[in-house]
Amino acid sequence: MRGLILIALSVLLQGCAGLGLGSSNDLLDLERQAQQAYAKGNYARSSEYYGKLATRMPTDADTRYRLANSLAREGNHGLAIQTYREALLRDPQHAGAWYNLMQLQAQELTLTAMEARRYLDRKNPGAQSALKRAEQLIEVFDEHVPASTE
């Protein structure tokens, strides 16, 4: 189904060939390369290919979702969060993007709370509210946040 959508988009883009958007074969090739790189665990390469696809298909939410997944696996959480949001701007009903965005934000929140707990001086009265919040967040999120995205 995804291939058919890419072909349909490519046919529409043929009229825009002068803009350098590429042919359907180019898009299918990029997607195949991105999927293969992701399957092999080469997330940096996968991100590169999905990034090129996203540039050529500026309205496609699913490409950004896949790019965000690659970025998250690569460890680039900030850019992955931004890219999930870009996918959701294009398709607010994209449940996978919502799920992975929440998972990644929960992971980041848990890590921040753990860092606060590690570095703040418990004897400092000014740190008590931050430490209390860190403990609450760790209690809520630490058990429920898997280490990877879908």
Q: Give the CATH number for residue 97.
A: 1.25.40.10
Handedness of CA 29, 30, 31, 34 (dihedral sign): positive
Is position 149 within any domain?
Answer: no
Is position 147 within any domain?
Answer: no
* Domain membership of residue 126 as a residue range: 2-141
Q: What is the pLDDT of residues 9-40, one digit of tens each?
A: 554 444 444 344 457 789 999 999 999 999 99
Is position 49 within any domain?
Answer: yes
Gap between the Cα atoms of 29 and 38, Å rounded? 14
Is position 99 within any domain?
Answer: yes
Is position 127 within any domain?
Answer: yes
Domain count, the chain: 1
Q: Could you tell me the two tokens for 14? A: 């043929």
What is the model's pTM?
Answer: 0.76
Is position 6 within any domain?
Answer: yes
Gap between the Cα atoms of 113 and 90, Å rounded? 32
What are the helix (H) ranges across 57-127?
61-74, 77-90, 95-119
